[in-house]
Every structure is written in C-alpha cells, then in structure tokens.
Structure 1
C-alpha cells in the first residue's frame, strides 16, 4: 500500500495537477482493487445509511467489476471522470493522511497464497463483486444492511490491491454470505 502512495506522490511531484487517468496509470494493474475498495469503504461509514447512497456506489463499483470480469486489461472510465484533476498539494496531503493506514495494512497483510491472487482469481472476484453489487438495492430495505455485501466487496478489493490470497479466500467466503443475505432479504420482502 505504501508503494502505491509513493507512486502517487511521485506522480504529483512531476506535475502541478494529477488526473484520474494519470493516477490510474501510476497505480498500474492494481487499480481495480482500490477502485472497488474505496467506494465500498465509504458505504461502510455512516454515509451508507443515507437512502440511495449504497446503490449509487454499487453502480460505480459494478462498472469496474464488469470490465474485470470480462477480462479487460485496462479499465474504461468516462472521459469526464478520466480527465478530472486534483492539485498536487491535495495528492500529497491525502497520501500523508493515508500513510498510517497503509503502514498498518502493509504490516498485517502480505503476498501470501499468491495462487489465489493470480489469474483467473481477479476475474472470479470481479464476478463475486458484480453479484454482490446486484444485491445492494434489496439490502437498502433495512438501514445499514448493505454493510454485509459492501464489507465483502471491500475485503476483495483489499485482497486484490495487496495480493493477499488469504484475504481473497476470506473475501470470497464473506461474499457468499453476503449473497445469501441479500437474496434472503429480496425473497423476504
């Protein structure tokens, strides 16, 4: 995680603004992980209790997950999002604030059971993420019920980002539980 932050800092050192496309280029083939991790984490916060927010974030995650499930090597983003830029000072401030969390994650995760993070594992995880995203609208019946599928999505995003096979296995198990819970809510109501 700290290597990703270092890459973003280096990118910000080279230019006055950093576009979303430029940040994704710097992160490289790990960009899918953070693109599903970050929105899922936002839904896990109190903002996830606002009606409609979990579904909105699930749609955003779904756009990325479908592309990975289909085997795309690079992720497509609408031009309006790709070209959005942030001042380099904002990038530096954000990476500095994220460093303690990144350091903790680096200390508690590792590239273990890497067979579960190599192809086709990211595609399998992406299919699980797609299915979990499809359950989110039904979970909005109950406040914060979207925590279950979004927690599994966040775990899968983290596993892909840090290439931790143990987290991948746990994410897939949590995803299966989230699917069962989401389907049960859909059938029950």
Structure 2
C-alpha cells in the first residue's frame, strides 16, 4: 500500500526510481547511514531495489570517496550473483560490508543531486520489448552483465568516469527489469560493453601521446 507523502518525500505519482530515492532520503536522515540500514529499509527480498541503490550512488558525488565505488561494485556483484542463484529468495551480504557507512548529510546531498535523473528515468520508462526482460534467458543475460559490471568496478575505480558509467549501466538494466522496458535494458548492456574500454583508451593515449608528444 502506498503511504501518503510527507514533506521531503516523493509523491505517490512517482515511479520506481523516484520511490527508491525517496526511501534513501528517509534513511539518510540519520547522522550516519550504513549499508545495513539501507537493506533494512528495502527488505532482504528486494533484489532489484538493492541492485539499483548502489548503481544510483555510483552516479552521485559519493563516488569520489576513496573505495566507495569498490564497495558499491562489490554490492552489485553480490546482489546480481544471488539473483542468478536458482531458488534464492533472500539477500545476504557480508557483515563487514553491511557495516560500511557514510555521513547522513553527504547521503542526503547525493540523493538530492539524483532527483532529476530519477524523474527522467521514470518519465521515459515504459513497457516495450518486454520479452527481453521477462524471459528466463534474457534475465539471466542481464543478471550476468550486472555481475560483470560490479566485479570490474574495483579494478577501474581510479580511472575517471568508469565507475559512474558502469553504475549507469546497472541502473538502466535494473530500471528495465523493474518497468519491463527492454530498451532500457539493452542500452544498459551497451554501456557495460563500452565502459571498460575507457581505461584502455586512456592507457593508449598515455603510452602513445601522438605526433610531437613527449613521454
């Protein structure tokens, strides 16, 4: 049942991404916020929201905190792996990961910065190419893509924009799964393929600066 919105919360007409941001906004009212607090807010059976939350945070200014992207990537890979696990209906995360925390004020600022993105995603998501996200094969491919994205994020954390691109990819896939929008899911897969090329291109430019360049 949808609860009546209170000041500072997203209204009842908001879509799934805005609903998740609204829940994050509520959790961030505390002085410090742990990953365990977020899991408790969404419930241990909420696989897709818990896939979307770290993806959203990777796109926020919080991704600039050292090792924060790695924590988000590990969370994404663990959630995706359990989504692929046949018969798994309850989310498990390591206690050490659940204790990871961020200051509430920084979390609130990050959520506020994501509001426009949430509105855009909810406003443009619609049911299309549904078999891509409803069939067992399609969901397995999407889950594997999220598992891959989460796994490589710690490797590329120091490369600018890479972790945020992979966060965007997972966000698009999760939004596609939640809204039955196969187009969003496919766009997410494309970004998963492209994002890891960024550090390789950056390394190529550094090694070969071009005519007249100096090493």
Bin the TM-score by the shorter chain. 0.5 to 0.7
Structure 1 alignment gaps of length 5 or more: 10-18, 81-96
Instruction: Quote the residue 1:46 is aligned against.
Output: 61
SS in 2 for 1:146: helix
Query: 1:104, CA displacement in angstroms?
Result: 5.1
Residue from 90, 109, 112 that aligns with 2:128 = 112
CA shift in 2, pair 1:60/1:135, >3 Å: same
The structure richer in helix per residue is 1
CA contact (8 A) 1:34 1:158 kept: no
Structure 2 alignment gaps of length 5 or more: 1-12, 24-37, 96-111, 207-215
**Are residue 151 (structure 1) and residue 132 (structure 2) matched?**
no
Distance 1:110 1:101 in 2: 16
Distance 1:143 1:102 in 2: 23
Instruction: Quote the residue 1:66 is aligned against.
Output: 81
SS in 2 for 1:120: helix
Distance 2:55 2:192 in 1: 13
Distance 1:166 1:49 in 2: 30
Query: 1:117, CA displacement in angstroms?
Result: 0.6
CA contact (8 A) 1:70 1:123 kept: no
CA contact (8 A) 1:139 1:185 kept: no
Query: 1:76, CA displacement in angstroms?
Result: 2.2
Residue by residue, what CA displacement relative to the aligned partner does 1:9-45 show, whole Å, maximum 9, x if unpaired?
Answer: 9xxxxxxxxx9568448xx7xx332211111111111
Q: CA RMSD in A?
A: 3.8
CA shift in 2, pair 1:62/1:143, >3 Å: same
**Are residue 141 (structure 1) and residue 166 (structure 2) matched?**
no
CA shift in 2, pair 1:106/1:46, >3 Å: closer
Rg larger in 1 or in 2?
A: 2
CA shift in 2, pair 1:47/1:20, >3 Å: closer
